[in-house]
Structure 1
Amino acid sequence: MPGGAVVIASTLVAGYFVGRPANRWLWILILCVPAVLGGVLMSFLPETNKKGHLAGMYLIYTIAPSVILTFSWVTANVAGHTKRAVAHALITASLSVGGIIGPQTFQAKDAPQYIPGKITVFASQSAAIMVAVILRLYYGWQNSRKEKTAIAQETIKDIEWLNFTDKENHTFRYQY
């Protein structure tokens, strides 16, 4: 139950604050930091520190709302029906593959400490932070490029309904 409480609390907090402009990437980062800390606690604390390991396990649950934010970020930054459907399918497939591979990192031969699995948790959450920051920088760079090379496409009536992709629609701006 405490893990579920952490998921609910982090989802409510993130849901409240993420409505502000241009901060999905930041909230993904904020939600990953406690998960990284949890992975560190579980991986590197001595086995005798049961409370620290338990706290680490609960901290990992803060990652759950980032899945929702990832889907909403993709929806905001991919234009064109087919391209958006493929992007969502790739994210769903990636989550499924992670759901299969993740438990396999906790092997019986590594019991009772399961260090490789715990380090995998730490590493994957750290990678999520890096990806969020890189995407934020990339989207900002793309927006500035589009501003510099603005084309007179803005005069097209109802351009958002023409199923242009984010690359084809020069008025499209990435959200972060």
Structure 2
Amino acid sequence: MIGVKTKQYKLPQVTEAFTDVKVLLIALIGVATGVINGGIANFASALIRGYGFSGISATLLQLPTGAFEFVLVPVCGLIAAYCANTRCIVLGVICLVPFGGLLGIRFTDLEHRWTLVGCTWLQYIVGAPVILSWNLLTTNVAGHTKRSFSNGLWFTLYAAGNIAGANIFFARERPRYFSALTGLCICYGGIIVIAALLWILMKRENLRRDAEQERRGSAAVVYAHSKEGVQTDQRAIDDGFNDLTDKQGRYFRYAL
């Protein structure tokens, strides 16, 4: 339903992109995931050293983090792909895991250093929220110009978040970095709240469009679920190829 690439630049779609609450909320997720990624990527080894491990041991103890990403990121993607309207739910649920890990780092004594290492490993699940939020954006924004500017906004804020995340770990707070942990907790909490809000907003809009179509007396079924995801009728596809935005297309339905 999102159409194809076109070389025609449409200024109204730019305005719509920057005034669409859905786009702005997903962009905020981009900032939050950027802060988390920038902080963890630069300071995970510093955290592990603070638990009492030497430099080489701290480096080696980061090896299992790849296994977390290798397993959990594809699993989240498969659930979102094959279970209709679960993107927001998976995004919120997967953020609870590293959020709990941050609380563990914050409140666990240094004498339980292996517990602290395990909580630090959980922070590398950030790859899943990054990909899921990007997927929410690309599947729920129609209109080539609008989609291009929305993607650009997301990546710009994500990059800015990475820069900010690398600067919230203060040397004076080593080895626990309480300010940074608080900031990361706020980011994860914000993502969870935004995911729930996005689900509510898009679900309500889908229901409104379904009701409007019923009032118009349309006999075709536009919105139907299947194991493979969401099916839609030809009119929504035509709207996409005519470069209508998701707000302009009456037959467009949001993928939750």
* C-alpha spacing 1:157/1:62, structure 2 compared with 1 (3 Å): closer
Q: Which runs of 4+ in 1 moved over 6 A?
A: 154-157
Report how many aligned residue pairs link the two structures.
175
Task: Find the residue that maps to 2:249 and give its secondary structure.
Answer: coil
2:218 aligned with 1:138: no
How many Å separate the matches in 1 of 2:121 and 2:153? 28
User: Is contact 1:38-1:122 (8 Å) kept?
Assistant: no
Which TM-score applies when normalising by structure 1? Answer: 0.92
- CA deviations 1:90-130 (Å, max 9, x no partner) are 11112111100111110111112111111111111111111
The structure number with the bigger radius of gyration is 2
Give the CA deviation at 1:155.
6.2
User: Quick one: which of 232, 241, 254 aligns to 1:161?
Assistant: 241
2:82 aligned with 1:82: no
Which residue matches 1:59? 122
Q: Return the structure number with greater relative CO, CA threshold 8 A, min gap 6.
A: 2
Larger mean Cα displacement after TM superposition, 77-86 or 141-150: 141-150
Give the CA deviation at 1:63.
2.1
**Partner AA of 2:147 in structure 1:** R
User: Is contact 1:47-1:113 (8 Å) kept?
Assistant: no
Give the CA deviation at 1:16.
2.4
Give the CA deviation at 1:46.
1.8
* C-alpha spacing 1:157/1:174, structure 2 compared with 1 (3 Å): closer
- CA deviations 1:78-101 (Å, max 9, x no partner) are 110011111111111121111001
Cα root mean square deviation, aligned? 1.8
Which residue matches 2:251? 171
Matches within 5 A, 1:33-48: 33-48=96-111
Give the CA deviation at 1:14.
1.3
* C-alpha spacing 1:47/1:145, structure 2 compared with 1 (3 Å): same
How many Å separate the matches in 1 of 2:98 and 2:236? 46
Task: Find the residue that maps to 1:48 and give its secondary structure.
Answer: coil
Unaligned runs of 5+ in 2: 1-62, 219-233
Unaligned runs of 5+ in 1: none
